[in-house]
Amino acid sequence: MKKFLPHLAAVALFILISAAYFWPAFNNKEMMQHDVKEFNGMSKEISDHRQAYHEEPLWTNAAFSGMPAFQISVKYPSNLIAYVHRAVTLGMPFPANVLFMLLFGFYILMLVMKVDPWLGFLGSVAFAFSSFYFISIGAGHNTKVVALSYLAPTFAGVLLLFRGKYLAGGALMALFLSLMICANHLQITYYLFMLILVYILFEFSSVIRTKAFMPFAKSIAVFGIAALLAVASSAGNIWSTYVYGKSTTRSRSELTDNPKDKTSGLDRSYITNWSYGKGESMSLLIPNVKGGGNRAIGNVSKNATKNVDQRMKQTVASMDAYFGEQPGTAGPTYAGAVTVFLFVLGLFIVEGRMKWFLLAGTIMSISLAWGKNMMWLTNIFLDYFPGYNKFRSVSMILTLAEFTLPFLAVLALERVTRKAGVMKESMKLPLFSKPVTKMRLFYVAFGITAGITLLYYVTPGSLTSFVKNGEDVELFDQIKGGNPTAEDQQVKAYVDEIMVGTEIARKSILQADAGRSLILIILAGGILFFYFRSNFDKRYLFASLAFIIVVDMGSVSWRYLNHDSFVDKKKVENQITPSVADKQILEDKSLDYRVLNMSLSTFNDASTSYFHKSIGGYHGAKLKRYQELIENHIFGSIQAINNTLMSSPTDSAIRIAFSKQPVLNMLNTKYIIYNKDAPPLENRFALGNAWFVRDVTYVADADKEIAALATFDPRNAVVVSEGFKQDLAGFTPAPDPSATISLTEYKANRLVYKTQAAKEQLAVFSEIYYSPGWNAYIDGQITPHFRANYVLRAMRIPAGNHQVEFKFEPTEYASGEKISMASSALLILLVLGAAAMELKKSFASTAEN
């Protein structure tokens, strides 16, 4: 027990810290998280189906006219690892469980590194309190932070593996990697594998020198087995996502416009839209180096407008505090002033390849986060690293720097506290002819970090600009738009005054945080200096530095997520309420129709999906062809309808506007919400659930296919790619005015139609085509169907009376669940066996001693 007491104490402190920071979560309160609200809208039909039919629908028609549900809300009950997550986080409520795992996971890594428990605690705090995690939690990026909480212990397993601890390392890696994958944020997992690859390359460089190829080969083999087992535990999700991914916005487009922007995944411009500015990277050291997040200056600092012209104070206080290069951000990625100082110290005094690996990982992280600001490097990864172009928001890779910075910081403290008088020792540095004492290197590290913060405090204008590109022009247009009769010269003079005041306020915000970081570095440096001189108990050193780090990083994170972020659970549950328009539409009990909501951001809001089958929604991986339909046609249709409504139109003018929207009509867009507090507009040109057509237009490629939708008559004609021409071989259109087709039964994953026709007909269905899962049946016999009108389904219907069914039956889900059950059970047994063996060794060693 004596051996385990320090670790039990650390875990107890982690629990206490997590509970204290997120105490409201223990009192039936939750956060108003944007992405969780959108999730509730997107998943409503899925959860209703699950409750009604006790099955996973795997498809939803509630968003983007229909899409697979794999990355929305699908349960994978066969993956037993999901139950392990609750166990390792001690059943605590979200987000306290995530903070606990961030702390505990890094502590596991520190145990593997064999550092002092107090130092391990310090490192855990430095890692877990990065502002990025708290900002992500506040935004509702829950799967991201859960995945990140398992990054450190997964890497701990990798370290054990390459130290020859094959069973313990393999089991530890497999367990936490499986938990990370189960969290379902593959971008974070991908970044971890990038970091592991860098580590393996450094290990291999050592192997080349020592010729120890066999142990390295064993480590690689066990690594592969552990990774395979972890991946297989989430086989149902991964396999389904892999198949689905080929049809999403993360896949290559068949359109040939703007080829330089294309990759085999997302477009370069989309991937790099959220690129960290090079100067913004200093936020790792100074949180508000670019003003923080998109908040009003007055909300960031009450003193920021102190030196602003009295006439401009109120206006300037309402201006955006953020002046970085990203389109927007909730807050900075702050790693901690003390952490960065210790990291720089580690670059000088830590020896061995671990330091160079952590430096390489940090450089890779920061450089790739720059995205379009270092496009040559980004292009290399987009073009030559498989899977890299599937992920958006390149700035997210800064999560690796948030891991490597405290890691090396801990190693630096471990080196300087290893023994008395260690700072008097000299060491040889690359590019230097003479050895340098470690104490002198301490002064250099202190001088670099304190010097940078001092420069930002004294002369911030020489290091950064306080105005965003085009900000003054945008402000001019905004003011001029509200006052069209004002003279341009007067408006420009007014804008100039506002921008002068804004620069003063933003400069004040930056200087406040630069001074803050400077003071923290001086405090940490002073404590270390005193320790080197007096050599007091290092536990007091670690405790005092840990306290400073908690105050430092905790206070910055508190800016973005605190007790005020929590509200009563009922308020969270009632975020989405039906509007006047929603209520009226819900009176229509038809089996199937779609709604276009123009009163909000149609394609970035899922509240409409909560009540209706929506044309829009909120998702980062919608079907590629549907996204292209949005960009090429639906955006234009929305603009055309808006223009009509803004001109005080007659009913006849509105009807004419609707009649000219073939894409909306083929999607069965029956209702248009233009004002949530007013009755919706009813589109009588919506074509319904299915209809027969008499004309077929064949097109050679995707470019011609999507272009043809601009002017065709969807009621009577269909546009078909020549790739599906064989599906219509021998078919001759035979108009039959008496022929009928109607939807008689509706479920998210099963549609039933009744048809009657004297001759064979060609039917078009207002349902999204997705071949890896949807099967068509006529009278119980599976029957081919094909894609039409770029995104819809079509099929030949024989003469007579028939029942037509569409069933969503993707084989990968069921097969993946079987693999998942077997793999997760095997993995758990492996971990339990490895743990039993390690405990046995530990007890045996204790008995011998």
Q: Please provide the average confidence, as pLDDT, over all residues in the chain.
A: 94
C-alpha 65/C-alpha 669 separation (Å) is 9
Q: Is the dihedral of CA 283, 285, 287, 288 positive or negative?
A: negative
Q: Judge whether residue 526 has pLDDT over 80.
A: yes
For residue 95, is the peptide bond before it cis, meaning its omega torsion is within 30 degrees of 0? yes
SS (H, E, C) 232-281: HHCHHHHHHHHHHHCCECCCCCCCCCCHHHCCCCCCHHHHCCCCCCCHHH
Tens digits of per-residue pLDDT, 168-204?
999 999 999 999 999 999 999 999 999 999 999 999 9
C-alpha 17/C-alpha 40 separation (Å) is 30
Q: What phi and psi values does residue 79 have, to the nearest 5 degrees?
A: -85, 100
Q: At what angle do helices 151-161 and 166-182 cross, to 10 degrees?
A: 160
Question: Sheet containing 669-673: which strands, arranged edge to edge?
Answer: 594-597, 669-673, 681-682
* Average pLDDT rounded to a whole number, residues 455-480: 91
pLDDT of residue 125: 96
Q: Judge whether residue 431 has pLDDT over 80.
A: no
C-alpha 291/C-alpha 316 separation (Å) is 14
Tens digits of per-residue pLDDT, 42-91?
999 999 999 999 999 999 999 999 999 999 999 999 999 999 999 999 99
Q: Pseudo-torsion of CA 768, 773, 778, 784, nearest 10°? A: 80
Asked whether 180 and 167 are in contact (CB, 8 A), the reply is: no
Better pLDDT: 397 or 28: 397
DSSP letters of 611-657? HS-BS----SS-BHHHHHHIIIIIHHHHHHHHHHHTT---HHHHHHH
C-alpha 105/C-alpha 612 separation (Å) is 42
Tens digits of per-residue pLDDT, 216-246?
999 999 999 999 999 999 999 999 999 999 9
Q: Strand 761-768 and strand 792-797: pairing?
A: antiparallel
Better pLDDT: 2 or 575: 575
Whole-number CA gyration radius for the chain: 30
DSSP letters of 38-69? HHHHHHHHHHHHHHHHSS---EESSSTT-EE-
pLDDT of residue 767: 97
SS (H, E, C) 572-583: HHCCCCCCHHHH
Give, as one character, the DSSP assignment of residue 796: E
Asked whether 413 and 380 are in contact (CB, 8 A), the reply is: no
What are the residues whose beta carbons fall under 8 Å from the beta carbon of 218, sequence distance 6 or more?
166
Tens digits of per-residue pLDDT, 274-288?
999 999 999 999 999
What are the residues whose beta carbons fall under 8 Å from the beta carbon of 232, sequence distance 6 or more?
819, 820, 822, 823
C-alpha 344/C-alpha 565 separation (Å) is 35
Neighbouring C-alpha atoms within 13 Å toward the C-beta of 406: 30
In this prediction the pTM is: 0.94
Which burial class, exposed, middle or buried, applies to 334 when counting CB atoms under 10 A from its CB (0-12, 13-18, 19+)?
A: buried
Helix (H) or strand (E) holding 800: strand 800-808
Residues in the chain: 849
pLDDT of residue 429: 80
